[in-house]
Amino acid sequence: MTPAFSADDSVGCVTHPDPDFLLHATGLTKTFGSFTAVDGIDFAVERGESFGFLGPNGAGKSSTMKMVGCVSPVSCGELRVFGQDPATHGPQIRARLGVVPQKDTLDEELSVEENLWIYGRYFGLSRREVRVRTSELLDFAQLTDRAKSTVEPLSGGMKRRLTIARSLISRPEILLLDEPTTGLDPQARHVLWDRLFRLKRSGVTLVLTTHYMDEAEQLCDRLVVMDHGKIVAHGSPRSLITEYSTREVLELRFDTDDHAQHGEAIAGIGERVEVLPDRLLVYTEDGDAAAAEVHQRGVRPMSALVRRSTLEDVFLHLTGRTLVD
Amino acid sequence: MSASVGTTATPSSRVLPAKWRPVFGSWLTAYKRTWRGSIFGRFLSPLMFLLSLGLGLGRLVDKSTGGVDGVPYLQFVVPGILAAQSMWAAMGESTYPVMGAIRWNMKYHAMLATPIGIDDVLLGHLLYVMMQVTGATAIFIGVAALFGSFSSWWVLLCLPITVLTGMAFAVPVFAFSAKQEGPDNFNILFRFIMTPLFLFSGIFFPVSQLPDLMRPIAWVMPLWHGVQANRSLALGSPDFAAVAGHTAYLLVVIVIGAWLARRAFIARLVV
């Protein structure tokens, strides 16, 4: 394989990753021609942690995951996985990783169990070992009764669970999940979250990307918020909300085409007001008090909803945009 | 759930010295689903050629001219068709499956997320194609022998030569297929390259019958070399120097093709 950069190219990048981390990146950069997908990001993941990359489509999350998964060469900066360099130890690192790609790469014409068998063989496991682990994993993925079925007719949630089961066949130390629940219905997402939570409890380090703030809140101990290839904030879900948002949010909807015209009427209520195309967000410590004040001013919204602040609000505050358009 | 699932046990995954083997095994697993239909086709194809060209056209040629270069037409044409069917089998295995594994089902991507590397992916798949071509060729030789198409045991050497002929197409076509965004160009490949080669590579009539300008095209392409070597062997008094030359040419094409295929795979899969 051709290394993507020579030693000379990396001059100017910060290059001192700490070997104590399972995963450590400094100045990590990915460019495609003149386009910079990942723009010099730093992060570190400890063993047993559940770490997330939160950001909209095109933020550079998947490019980062592919570099960590040692399938995409690093353009600049330094990356260490298990203290090793993907450029020189790709196969050794990949032997200890489990990968759940954004798009399922299952063999749809093969049966559920055959998919696990052939994948286990890629890791050099014996046929007998692969069969033992397959029955364990089918159990874990709640697919035992579909073991002989071909993959093609399975539901999206089942395929996703099979992909996760497959990624676990080598008993990886880090599980990389690129948008694990995108496109799944709410019930399938909850089943999947439950499975991932069990993995986390059993000691697997999870590294995942998502553009769902509820997923990040559910699964991540720590996360970074990415936008345009850069990390714009990092911390635990709670600390990010405390730092970048208020305790509560009052959402106001009006029966109108342009919500901006109502912004002035409620200016000054709460800490700040965010105007979105379809609603107004009032950031405040006390949502009910803010709602009362709106009412006092004689403003009559179509609906008023008080909720707790979420990572979506953090993202909105940091970038001026919502996560999922 | 068993407690051991996903836990961080000792890194049990050894790195195998021959990592192409599970890649080969994966293609073989997929083949087990369709082998019956595939084998049936492998038998049917030589039967149809033998009936139409050997018995139908052959009888006519022999009656009016006494064969080609003093050889009954059946014995003249079958070694050539043997080489051609190997080309067709190789093409079938190295067009859609290769592009599909990159663009459609992402089979290669799944492999590359594991300790398997690009060279293993390429070698494992090529060896699987070689197995297919070998099977098709062995069946063809067997069926054709029953019709009395061969006059010498030297025909057994046609097996490796024919497999090399097929691979001299498969390997460069791997490079071609890896670069495709969709199947459109495959039709061009089949219609404007494979079909003319089939017709003008000295299978049905000697290349010397071709206009002067067309002959070099036949000489450059691998098929003519396979046809010539096969015919020389199957007719029973082989010109070993010529057979060796043709074999060497096929090997050179395979080596250059492998270099191109590896480059194309890296360009498509390592980004």
| Tens digit of pLDDT at every position of chain A (325 positions) | 344 433 344 444 445 555 569 999 999 999 999 999 999 999 999 999 999 999 988 899 999 999 999 999 999 999 999 999 999 999 999 999 999 999 999 999 999 999 999 999 999 999 999 999 999 999 999 999 999 999 999 999 999 999 999 999 999 999 999 999 988 899 999 999 999 999 999 999 999 999 888 899 889 999 999 999 999 999 999 999 999 999 999 999 999 888 888 888 888 899 999 988 889 999 999 999 999 999 999 999 999 999 999 888 998 899 877 776 5
Residue B213 has pLDDT above 80, yes or no: yes
Pick from A105, A137, A171: which is nearest to B109 by CB? Answer: A105
Q: Is residue A79 part of a domain?
A: yes
A260 and A210 in a single domain? The answer is no
Which of B13, B19, B111 is most worth mutating to test chain A (most A CB atoms within 10 A of its CB)?
B13
3-state secondary structure A179-217: CCCCCCCHHHHHHHHHHHHHHHHCCCEEEEEECCHHHHH
Q: Is residue A127 part of a domain?
A: no
Instruction: Measure the CA–CA gap between A238 and B210, rounded to whole angstroms.
Output: 81
The pLDDT value recorded for residue B227 is: 97
Which of A192, A213, A235 is the endpoint of a domain?
A235
Q: How many CB pairs under 8 A join A and B?
A: 135
The pLDDT value recorded for residue B1 is: 35
B5 in A contact zone (CB under 8 Å) = yes
A15 and A92 in a single domain? The answer is yes
pLDDT, tens digit, for every residue of B251-260? Answer: 999 999 999 9
DSSP A63-99: HHHHHHTTSS---EEEEEETTB-HHHHHHHHHTTEEE
A302 and A212 in a single domain? The answer is no
Contact B106 A105 (CB under 8 A): yes
Q: Is residue A5 part of a domain?
A: yes
* Confidence band, pLDDT 50/70/90 cuts, at residue B26: very high
CATH number, domain of A250, equals: 3.30.70
pTM confidence score: 0.89
**Size of chain B in residues:** 271
Residues linked to residue A248 through DSSP beta bridges, in sequence order: A284, A308
pLDDT, tens digit, for every residue of B33-53? Answer: 989 999 999 999 889 988 898
Residue B124 has pLDDT above 60, yes or no: yes
Which of A215, A235, A255 is the endpoint of a domain?
A235
Q: Is residue A306 part of a domain?
A: yes
Contact A122 B109 (CB under 8 A): no
Nearest CA in chain A to B109: A105
B264 in A contact zone (CB under 8 Å) = no
Measured between beta carbons, the chain B residues lying within 8 angstroms of A124 are 13-16, 19, 22, 115
CATH number, domain of A25, equals: 3.40.50.300
Contact A92 B22 (CB under 8 A): no
Instruction: Measure the CA–CA gap between B214 and A213, rounded to whole angstroms.
Output: 67
Q: Is residue A1 part of a domain?
A: yes
Residues linked to residue A283 through DSSP beta bridges, in sequence order: A249, A272
Instruction: Measure the CA–CA gap between A172 and A219, rounded to whole angstroms.
Output: 18
Measured between beta carbons, the chain A residues lying within 8 angstroms of B5 are 136-137, 140, 168, 171, 199, 202
Pick from A96, A105, A203: which is nearest to B11 by CB? Answer: A96
Pick from B16, B33, B113: which is nearest to A109 by CB? Answer: B33
The pLDDT value recorded for residue A17 is: 53
Q: How far is CA A322 from CA A55, A181, A267, B240, B270, in A?
A: 10, 19, 21, 75, 33
What number is the average pLDDT over the span B135-148?
Answer: 95
Residue B6 has pLDDT above 50, yes or no: no
A290 and A210 in a single domain? The answer is no
Q: Is residue A116 part of a domain?
A: no
A18 and A62 in a single domain? The answer is yes
Instruction: Measure the CA–CA gap between A51 and A66, rounded to whole angstroms.
Output: 16
A308 and A276 in a single domain? The answer is yes
A229 and A251 in a single domain? The answer is no
Q: Where are the alpha helices (DSSP H) in chain A?
A: 61-68, 86-94, 112-122, 127-140, 156-167, 186-201, 213-219, 237-244, 287-296, 311-319
Q: Measured between CA atoms, how close is B108 to chain A, in angstroms?
A: 9
Query: Minimal CA–CA distance to A86: which of A98, A70, A65, A66?
Result: A70
The pLDDT value recorded for residue A19 is: 56
A89 and A16 in a single domain? The answer is yes
The pLDDT value recorded for residue A259 is: 86
Query: Minimal CA–CA distance to A202: which of A311, A79, A64, A98?
Result: A98
Contact A1 B13 (CB under 8 A): no
A8 and A75 in a single domain? The answer is yes
DSSP at A294: H
The pLDDT value recorded for residue A264 is: 86
DSSP at A243: H
What number is the average pLDDT over the span B207-216?
Answer: 91
Q: Which residues contact B49 (CB under 8 A, 6 or more apart)?
A: B78, B81, B85
Measured between beta carbons, the chain A residues lying within 8 angstroms of B262 are none
A4 and A86 in a single domain? The answer is yes
The pLDDT value recorded for residue A11 is: 42
The pLDDT value recorded for residue A14 is: 47
Report how many domains make up chain A: 2
Q: Is residue A226 part of a domain?
A: yes
In which residue are the tokens 């699964």 written?
A219
The pLDDT value recorded for residue A18 is: 58
Instruction: Measure the CA–CA gap between B259 and B128, rounded to whole angstroms.
Output: 18
Pick from B6, B25, B118: which is nearest to A171 by CB? Answer: B6
Measured between beta carbons, the chain B residues lying within 8 angstroms of A71 are 109, 112-113, 269-270
Q: Is residue A183 part of a domain?
A: no
Residue-wise burial string across B210-219, b where 16 or more C-beta atoms lie within 10 A, e elsewhere: beeeebeebe
Residue B7 has pLDDT above 80, yes or no: no
Residue B129 has pLDDT above 90, yes or no: yes
Domain containing A36: what range?
Answer: 1-96+204-235
Nearest CA in chain A to B32: A110
Q: Which residues contact B73 (CB under 8 A, 6 or more apart)?
A: B53, B54, B57, B58, B61, B62, B67
